[in-house]
Amino acid sequence: MMVRRIVATLAALLTIALIAAAPQTIAVTGQLLAYQDGFVFFTTGDGFRAAPGIAIRGINGGPTTLVPAPRVWARAHFDPTGTITELDLSPNALPQEGSFGDVARFAIALSSPVPNPDLQAYAATPAPGTTLTAVQHFSGRPVLVTFIVQVPPNTAFNASVYITTDASGWNPQAIPMDRTDALHYEITRRLNSGTIFRYLYDRGSFQSQESAENGLQRTPRQIVVTDADVRVVRDTVYSWNDTLNGTFNQQPNAAPTPYNPAPFPNLPHGLPTPGVPGRPPA
């Protein structure tokens, strides 16, 4: 009985030792950047040596018509020496398997790594006494941005107000707004964080675009959408390009003005036009 136990224990240890001694493979998934000159490159920029007889298969292990090329996704099998022995290809994005951190030691580069001062802002541990510059991070997630604008007091009460933006090729009617009271319009839009949003307000055409406080055409407003659940942007429009104080309203049917010759063009027959001593045609 005792002998049996000893033999069984030895067999188990031997099995473990054999397994441990067997060559290990590491599988990592990623998107290919290139496959050339005996190397496989991933979009991390890392290049790995490909085995001379590298197996190219489909993602399920079967044959495939895909060839390793940029944009193609692949599961790479590394042998213990860091050589890729097998590539399983897929045209679609693959779930993450393994980590490139595990195979970073196999990446081949002739030159030794040199720190990049451009990336110092991301250094893990700043030197004592170092003044760090704030770094703005953007996740790209949608943010509800509400624009509230105060319009000039001489804006016609039922005027339509829009936002025009470079994101829509400066279409003057890109984003219609809703009037919320006598002086304010409002609209909410979903913008991804990190968006640099250049915009101006107008009344439906470039001619009716807002002008600066000093009466000149203004440069576009700009906001950077930061990570937040909601954001409110409040602006003031001082004047519109096409409405100047003191100029005349010459529209037909308007209340009479000196230069409106016919405030009442459809008067009944025989009724004199106000302000004209002569008589209209019969």
Partner 1 sequence: MRRISLCLTLVLCAFACAAGAARANTTMQLSASHISFYYDQFLVEGDGNVRVTTTDGFTVTGDSFSMDLKLNRFLVAGHVTLQYGSERVTGAAISDFLDFNRIYFVPVTSEPDRWTFLNGDLTHPVKGRVMPGDVFAFPQLPKTPSITASAATIGTKNFIHFFGATGYLAGVGVPLGSYVVNFSSNQYFAQNSLTGANFDATFNVAGNYNSLSAVHVRYDTFNHAYLAFEQHFVGSHDYAILSANPLTRSQRYFNFIGYEKLGSRFQVQTFTQFFIDQGIFFQALPSSETQTTYVNMTEAFPHSYLTLATNFTNYNTLGPGSYTNPAPVCTVPSATPANPHPKPVCVANPAGSLSHPTQAQLTWTSFQNRILKLPLFEQTYFGYGFNHDSVGQQYASPIAVNGLQAFGGQCVFVKSQPAVPCPTTYTTIYNQVVGITAFLPSVKIGGDNPYKDYYFNAVFNKQRQYNSLPHHVDTTTTTLSLSRQFSRPVNSYLSYQVQNTGDYYLQGGYQPCTFIQPNPPQPPIPCPSSLQSFTGVSTLRTLTLGINYDPNPDFNASLVGRHHDDFPIPEPNVFPLPALNVLGQPLYNNYLGQPPNDLTGDVRFHILPHMLIDVQRTYYFNFGNIRWSPAFIVQVLPQ
222-261 positions binding partner 1, by CB under 8 A: 238-239, 244-248, 251-261
Q: Which residues, 13 to 52, sit near partner 1 by CB under 8 A?
A: 31, 33-37, 39, 41, 43-45, 47
Q: β-pairing, 230-236 with 162-165?
A: unpaired
Please tell me whether residue 138 binds partner 1 under the rule CB under 8 A.
no
Among 3, 124, 132, 282, binds partner 1 (CB under 8 A): 282
The length of the chain, given as a count of residues:
282
Q: Which residue do the tokens 């197996």 mark?
A: 55
Q: β-pairing, 210-211 with 84-90?
A: unpaired
Nearer to partner 1 among residue 166 and residue 227 (C-beta): 166
Nearer to partner 1 among residue 60 and residue 214 (C-beta): 214
φ, ψ for residue 149, nearest 5 deg: -125, 135
> 100 and 94 in contact (C-beta within 8 Å)?
no
Nearer to partner 1 among residue 24 and residue 36 (C-beta): 36
Among 141, 207, 224, 228, binds partner 1 (CB under 8 A): 207
Q: What minimum distance in Å lies between the beta carbon of 92 and partner 1?
A: 11
Please tell me whether residue 189 binds partner 1 under the rule CB under 8 A.
yes
Q: Which residues, 64 to 103, sit near partner 1 by CB under 8 A?
A: 69-71, 93
Please tell me whether residue 59 binds partner 1 under the rule CB under 8 A.
no
φ, ψ for residue 234, nearest 5 deg: -110, 125
Q: How far is CA 259 from CA 155, 248, 254, 275, in A?
A: 22, 8, 11, 12
> 211 and 218 in contact (C-beta within 8 Å)?
yes
Q: What minimum distance in Å lies between the beta carbon of 57 and partner 1?
A: 20
Task: Give the HSE-up count for residue 192: Cα atoms under 13 Å, Cβ half-sphere.
Answer: 7
- Segment (H or E) for 221: strand 221-224
Q: What minimum distance in Å lies between the beta carbon of 224 and partner 1?
A: 13
User: Which one of 16-24, 77-85, 125-133, 188-196 is the stretch in contact with partner 1 (CB under 8 A)?
Assistant: 188-196
Among 183, 223, 226, 235, binds partner 1 (CB under 8 A): 183
Among 60, 112, 125, 133, binds partner 1 (CB under 8 A): 112
Residue 106: name the closest of 34, 41, 59 by CA: 41
Please tell me whether residue 187 binds partner 1 under the rule CB under 8 A.
yes
User: Which one of 55-63, 76-84, 126-134, 216-224 is the stretch in contact with partner 1 (CB under 8 A)?
Assistant: 216-224
User: Which one of 11-19, 53-61, 128-136, 152-160 is the stretch in contact with partner 1 (CB under 8 A)?
Assistant: 152-160
Q: How far apart are CA 137 and CA 264, in angstroms?
A: 63
Among 51, 175, 223, 233, binds partner 1 (CB under 8 A): 175
> 95 and 29 in contact (C-beta within 8 Å)?
yes
Q: What minimum distance in Å lies between the beta carbon of 216 and partner 1?
A: 5
Please tell me whether residue 179 binds partner 1 under the rule CB under 8 A.
yes
Q: How far is CA 74 from CA 49, 81, 86, 92, 97, in A?
A: 15, 19, 10, 9, 10
> 181 and 153 in contact (C-beta within 8 Å)?
no
Q: What minimum distance in Å lies between the beta carbon of 127 and partner 1?
A: 18
Q: Which residues pair with 240 in a beta bridge?
A: 210
